[in-house]
Amino acid sequence: MSMENKRNAAKPERDRPWLIRTYAGHSSAQASNALYRQNLAKGQTGLSVAFDLPTQTGYDSDHVLARGEVGKVGVPVSHLGDMMTLFDGIPLDQMNTSMTINAPAAWLLSLYIAVAEKQGTARASLQGTTQNDIIKEYLSRGTYIFPPAPSLKLITDVAAFTYREVPKWNPMNVCSYHLQEAGATAEQELAYALATAIAVLDAVRDSGQVPEEDFAKVVGRISFFVNAGIRFVTEICKMRAFCELWDEITRDRYGIEDAKYRRFRYGVQVNSLGLTEQQPENNVYRILIEMLAVVLSKNARARAVQLPAWNEALGLPRPWDQQWSLRLQQIMAYETDLLEYEDLFDGNPAIERKVGALKEGARAELAKIDEMGGAIAAVDRGYMKQELVRSNALRLADIESGLTKVIGVNAFTETEPSPLTSGEKSILTVDDMAEQDQIEKLKGWRSERNQSEVDATLTDLKSAASEGRNIMESSIACAHAGVTTGEWSETLRDVFGEYRAPTGITSMIVTGDAENLQDLRKRVDEVSDKLGERMKMLVGKPGLDGHSNGAEQIAVKAGEAGIEVLYEGIRWTPEELVRNAIEDGAHVIGLSILSGSHVPLVREVVNGLRAQGAGHIPVVVGGIIPEADMLVLRQMGVSAVYTPKDYQLAKVISEIVDLVDRKSSDKPAVSSNGAGDAHGDAALY
């Protein structure tokens, strides 16, 4: 035997690596297509599409609520032409594509199928996933459109359609990722995600769309999308608990006998919540450690992994930053010997004890949700949202007190200047003209299509929705006819209505015994006495950004301090926020914007206040805001800018109270022109 053959014979067999992805999309379909092709050329093995907020919430790029949001956090897709451009030169029969889309998931899947058909690709050959988890949108991410019942019907339609027509497609990614981002404990993440999966499978089973003998196939296509945080051992045990609980639920509740249909199949993006603006280079280590939690245990290994970039707490990552995270996955998959071994944790007593404790806690929470009538009922009652707000408040309180150490934030804060963050191009910025370009292309698309075909397919879609029929074939016909995202969504809005989810904000007292909070309450009382009424703070989220965790925490902390909080959740136009602030007599406005649209949206609020003679009401802003934009905001009249690097919520509220005290002596006609002396907190993001 030759030396080469001996070497090959001695090589141990290796498992196939997980799908290696990066989550990407920005500016335009053309720019995003170029990015996808670059990443595939670098060894990425699947695509994960990020859509912009107008697309996620079912609006065309020229809708009033889309102002400032087009192309910011993902790619705008308004019609079939955009989708064709997005996948130009990428053969869909050879691709595994994940689409992070929820309320309009049926529509984006219809566009994807239509593109495949334009390419000459059979539906049955397509592989990929639509996230399509609307329940977690009510709890944490905020890109819902319709009320719970019709939303569940749309998920059911996709599941019933794909198991027949697109059998390799995952119709739903039960998404616990955003639950952890909203503060969920490991037990809550397990319970709330599993309760969501149960609600969907119950709905599919009871819909009459899937014969009993085929139901196992639907169960086998349900996938999950999870989060892995920095508590390394707990995360390994959480994933093993997920696998065991899902096997138990599918066997006992649904009678699935074939073990392959009971397999817990999941993809993962590791935690973005823990990425820090301070010493951001430390995030590289965090991302590595968090990835280990979902690849080390073979029996609970992720089927697909996408990693954030080290600088996502600063802004939009550049292609090089994404490449760095891609290379981390490739080194783990191809250079190490991890894939040559069986599960490293089987039989470990510490692991088994922790897995058992997590399962016990998750089962108890599942039983509580079941008593309420299931996940949908628990959403409507506001129970799950309130519990997430409470858990997140406790998490932040522990960071604020120093009980939880975050390196570079509240421990070991001494640092050298980072060469990685120096220079004007250390983060990617979206061209201001991208939005106008997209709108002009949209207008051109509308003018060139056959309007009678558009009208006919929309009429059929409305009939299908009104009559309770499956809407997928009608939606695919709409896609081919040139219907836009906004038109598809508006048609279903007419049938189903819209929904505003519970905020989870109550009069809860989380850290009421803290000495600094007691002092703050006294200060609020003093300022309220000067005002002649209880101090009021309007916390507002203009535009389409649904990341409400920070706004909720500011609202909770302000309420603890004795401030009357005016917070009605997400998705308000600047005009509406101005009107609400004036009508409700707000003494200060706190705007939370995480999507990168802070400059145009804040400008509209500030100008709107001045136009209504209310320029004396101070405005503070929070979000992921670059230093250069802070200056722009202050110049337009913002009184204070807060970013993720300041985590002391009591200090933030104290500064806002002092601001109101100073401004209360101004005459109403005097406009706020920027004290600008406070920097602050993730709380408003």
684, 622 contact by CB (below 8 A): yes
DSSP assignment letter at 644: E
Query: Residue 60: pLDDT above 90?
Result: yes
Provide the residue type at 15 as one letter: D
59 is catalytic: no
Taking only the tens place, the pLDDT of each residue in 523-582 is 999 999 999 999 999 999 998 888 888 888 889 889 989 999 999 888 888 999 999 999
Closest C-alpha among 144, 73, 48 to residue 105: 144
Check 177, 266, 647, 685 and give the catalytic one: 177
The radius of gyration of the chain from alpha carbons, rounded to an integer in Å, stands at 25
pTM value > 0.75: yes
Instruction: Reply yes or no on whether 541 is catalytic.
Output: yes
Q: 462 lies in a domain?
A: no
The verdict on 63 and 206 lying in the same domain is yes
Establish if 424 belongs to a structural domain: no
Span 178-231, pLDDT tens digits: 899 888 999 999 999 999 999 999 999 999 999 999 999 999 999 999 999 999
pLDDT at 436: 92
Report yes or no: 184 and 388 within 8 Å, Cβ to Cβ: yes
In a domain, 59, yes or no: yes
676: confidence class by pLDDT, cuts 50, 70, 90: very low
Residues 239, 460: Cα–Cα separation, whole Å: 43
Q: Give me the domain span that covers residue 588.
A: 516-664
Catalytic annotation, pick one of 441, 541, 557, 645: 541
Q: Are 299 and 276 in contact (CB under 8 A)?
A: no
The predicted structure's pLDDT at residue 674? 36
393 with 528, same domain: the answer is no
Q: What is the CATH number of the domain that holds 613?
A: 3.40.50.280
Q: Is 23 a catalytic residue?
A: yes
**206 found inside a domain:** yes
CA distances 140 to 134, 310, 384, 451, 595, Å, are 10, 23, 10, 38, 15
Contact assessment for residue 166 and residue 126, using Cβ atoms and an 8 Å cutoff: yes
pLDDT tens-digit map of 127-142 = 999 999 999 999 888 8
Residue 186, CA distances (Å) to 358, 362, 630 in order: 7, 8, 36
Name the E strands within 576-673: 588-592, 619-622, 640-646
Residue 324 has pLDDT above 90, yes or no: yes
pLDDT at 30 over 50: yes
pLDDT, average across residues 621-627: 86
Q: In 534-648, at which residue ranges do the beta strands (DSSP E only) sit? A: 536-540, 564-566, 588-592, 619-622, 640-646
**Any catalytic annotation for residue 266?**
no
Do residues 18 and 303 make contact, with C-beta atoms less than 8 angstroms apart? yes
Whether the predicted pLDDT of 173 surpasses 60: yes
pLDDT in tens, 259-286: 999 999 999 999 888 899 889 999 999 9
pLDDT at 632 > cutoff 60: yes
Q: Are residues 397 and 528 in the same domain?
A: no
Last residue of a domain, one of 401, 416, 447: 401
d(CA 555, CA 564): 9
Catalytic position from the list 26, 79, 178, 359: 178
The pLDDT of residue 3 is above 80: no
Choose the catalytic residue: 354, 359, 547, 557. Answer: 547
**Average pLDDT estimate for 614-630:** 90
Q: How far apart are CA 246 and CA 259, in angstroms?
A: 11
pLDDT band, very low/low/confident/very high, at 84 (cuts 50, 70, 90) = very high
Instruction: Answer yes or no: is pLDDT of 677 > 70.
Output: no
Confidence label for 671 from pLDDT (cuts 50, 70 and 90) = very low
Residue 643 has what pLDDT? 85
Q: Is residue 519's pLDDT more than 70?
A: yes
Q: Which helix (H) or strand (E) holds 680?
A: strand 679-681
pLDDT band at residue 509 under the 50/70/90 scheme: low
Structure tokens at 487: 């038109």
Specify which residues 48 forms β-bridges with. 23, 98
Instruction: Give a yes or no: residue 487 inside a domain.
Output: no
Better-predicted residue by pLDDT, 671 or 40: 40
pLDDT band, very low/low/confident/very high, at 245 (cuts 50, 70, 90): very high
| Number of domains the chain contains | 2
The count of other CB atoms within 10 Å of the CB of residue 324 is 17
Task: Indicate which CATH number applies to the domain containing 302.
Answer: 3.20.20.240
DSSP 563: P
Secondary structure E strands in 232-325:
266-269, 304-306
What does residue 411 show for φ and ψ, rounded to 5 degrees? Answer: -150, 140
Q: Is residue 418 part of a domain?
A: no
Spatial distance between the Cα atoms of 292 and 565, rounded to a whole number of angstroms: 41
Q: What is the DSSP letter of 657?
A: H
pLDDT of residue 10: 58
Q: Are residues 122 and 263 in the same domain?
A: yes
Please state whether beta strands 304-306 and 679-681 pair in parallel, antiparallel, or not at all (unpaired).
Answer: unpaired
Q: Which residues pair with 588 in a beta bridge?
A: 537
Query: 682: pLDDT confidence band, cut at 50, 70 and 90?
Result: very low
For 26, list phi and psi in degrees, rounded to 5: -170, 165
- Determine the Cα–Cα distance for residues 455 and 443; give it in Å rounded to an integer: 17
The answer to whether 60 and 54 have CB atoms below 8 angstroms apart is: yes
Residue 503 lies in a domain: no
What whole-number percentage of the chain has pLDDT above 70?
A: 93
Tokens of 676: 């600008």
Establish whether 177 is a catalytic residue.
yes
Q: Decide if 511 is inside a domain.
A: no
Q: What pLDDT sits at residue 685?
A: 33
Query: Does 1 score more than 70 pLDDT?
Result: no
Res 679: pLDDT: 31
Q: What is the pLDDT of residues 389-442, one digit of tens each?
A: 889 888 988 988 899 999 999 899 998 888 888 766 677 777 778 899 999 999
Residue 321 pLDDT > 80: yes
Same domain, 56 and 205: yes
pLDDT band at residue 5 under the 50/70/90 scheme: low
Least reliable range by pLDDT among 247-251, 307-311, 365-369, 480-484 = 307-311
Which of 351, 369, 401 delimits the end of a domain? 401
- pLDDT higher than threshold 90 for residue 513: no
Domain boundary among 349, 373, 401: 401
Q: How far apart are CA 352 and CA 366, in angstroms?
A: 21
- Cβ 469 vs Cβ 475: under 8 Å: no
Distances (CA, A) of 395 to 359, 372, 548: 21, 26, 16
* 3-class state of residue 393 by DSSP: helix
The pLDDT value recorded for residue 552 is 87
What angle (nearest 5°) sits at the alpha carbon of residue 640, between those of residues 637 and 642? 135
Inter-residue contact 320 to 24 (CB < 8 Å):
no
Has 480 been annotated as catalytic?
no
8 A C-beta contact, residue 553 and residue 683: yes
Q: What percent of the chain has pLDDT over 90?
A: 72
Rounded mean pLDDT, 659-674: 63
